[in-house]
Amino acid sequence: MVFDVITENVREEPPWCVLCADDIVLVTERRGQLERKLEEWRVVLESRGMRISRSKTEYFTTDTRGDQQATIRLNGEKLKRVKTFKYLGSMVDETGEMEKEVNFRIQCGWNNWRQVSGVICDRRVPVRVKGKVHKAVVRPALMYGLEAAPLKKIEERKMDVAEMKMLRWMVGVNRTDRIRNKYIRGTVKVVEVSKKIQESRLRWYGHLRRRVGEDHVGREIMEMEVEGVRSRGRPKRRWIDCINGDLGEKNINPEMANNRNTWRRLIHNGDPE
């Protein structure tokens, strides 16, 4: 609350300015605009005894056709340019692709899996208990933030493959045992993580659909029309493209999202019984 009051004269509405405590993201269309905004923030914060860290402050550009040698300076000091940075636990890439974020999610899933491997790899623990531990500890790390990510089918399959390796370790079988993935998932009662990502994506879409007439940044971005012409060749997959594919796969109408209980039932992808 104090930080909001201190920065109220320089803070803009999302997505041009995103704040979470003292983690700040500034977005502009031009390099000069960004330097001016940084200087305004520096003056405001330093007048209150605070300081912008020069070593932690980074920037990137999505303009691959612009001047790649241009730099951003803060009070005369050159800032570090990066291609990827982490914000609130998610990897943001200058190309807009999700490959690095998917790899990072899989890494986080394996990290959580190793922390509970003493339980889920113990032959004395019932298989269903292992499945419950997996769904409570590993799956959230795999899925974090992906309800708003435009995942490709190949990226979803990559996550399913990684999860399947975890499940095989849990039940103590390998590929040479020639046991089908469907049978293993049915044993531990764990549906594909891509199905749960689809469910969370549609849940978030329904939430945005119900925010009619409200000044909500998520709804504004969902309905925002980007100016310009998309480049030649196969266009990049957008989040709304994922949603349209999910709606077609489940054969549901977007208007059904207005009824929360009905929508929740229609989008649910339950674990095997």
Of the chain, the percentage scoring pLDDT greater than 90 comes to: 48
Residue reference for tokens 């209150």: 48
pLDDT at 165: 94
Given a contact cutoff of 8 angstroms between Cβ atoms, the answer to whether 106 and 142 are in contact is yes
Q: At 92, phi and psi to the nearest 5? A: -110, 125
Given a contact cutoff of 8 angstroms between Cβ atoms, the answer to whether 80 and 58 are in contact is yes
3-state secondary structure string across the chain: CHHHHHCCCCCCCCCCEEEECCEEEECCCCHHHHHHHHHHHHHHHHCCCCCCCCCCCEECCCCCCCCCCCCCEECCEECEECCEEEECCEEEECCCCCHHHHHHHHHHHHHHHHHCHHHHCCCCCCHHHHHHHHHHHHHHHHHCCHHHCCCCHHHHHHHHHHHHHHHHHHHCCCHHHCCCHHHHHHHHCCCCHHHHHHHHHHHHHHHHHCCCCCCCHHHHHHHCCCCCCCCCCCCCCCHHHHHHHHHHHHCCCHHHHHCHHHHHHHHCCCCCC
Q: Which two tokens stand for residue 209?
A: 């659909």
> What are the tens digits of pLDDT across the range 165-195?
999 999 888 888 888 989 999 999 999 999 9
> What are the tens digits of pLDDT across the range 96-145?
889 999 999 999 999 999 999 999 889 899 999 999 999 999 999 999 99
Confidence of residue 213 (pLDDT cuts 50, 70, 90): low
Given a cut of 90, is residue 247 above it in pLDDT? yes
Q: pTM for this structure?
A: 0.86
